[in-house]
Amino acid sequence: MIWSDKVYVGEGVEQMRTELRRDIDAGNVSKYKKEYALVLAFNPLNLLELIPVKELSLDYYRESKLFLLGLAADKAEATELVRRIMEDVFHAQGNTDVRAFFQNESA
């Protein structure tokens, strides 16, 4: 798993961001029932994916090169983070090319 240099963090997980990141890296995510991770989409035709944190311990995700962009307390907060990311991308580039926005980090 690759972490963005600038991880977008929702208010609901701000207090536990360090613990949450450590648990994700260690694969100890079973205690997280509602939290979501935002990642660059596997399919290049899509922009982002929302993945329940509890699923990040699955082999499919552990063995893939996820590029993690954000952490949220629940799906509603994750959706708000998607809006923030897309707004930042559009203001910086004038388009919605999330991959190009984070290109230097994920290379």
Give the number of other Cβ atoms within 10 Å of residue 13's Cβ. 22
CA 64 to chain centroid, in Å, comes to 14
Q: What is the pLDDT of residue 104?
A: 63
Q: Give the separation between CA 64 and CA 74, rounded to whole angstroms.
A: 23
Q: What is the pLDDT of residue 51?
A: 97
Q: What is the pLDDT of residue 101?
A: 92
Q: What is the pLDDT of residue 44?
A: 87
Size of the chain in residues:
107
- Would you state the structure tokens that stand for residue 22, as one six-digit string? 């450590």
Alpha helices in the chain (DSSP H): 17-26, 59-62, 75-93, 98-101, 103-106
- Would you state the structure tokens that stand for residue 2, as one six-digit string? 């690759």
State pTM to two decimals.
0.91
> Domain residue spans in the chain?
2-106
Q: What is the pLDDT of residue 56?
A: 94
Q: What is the pLDDT of residue 41?
A: 94
Mean pLDDT by 10 residues, the chain (107 residues): 93 96 94 96 93 93 91 98 96 94 69
Residue where the block lists tokens 């004038």: 94
Q: Give the separation between CA 76 and CA 98, rounded to whole angstroms.
A: 20
> With contact defined as beta carbons under 8 Å apart, do 64 and 56 qualify?
no
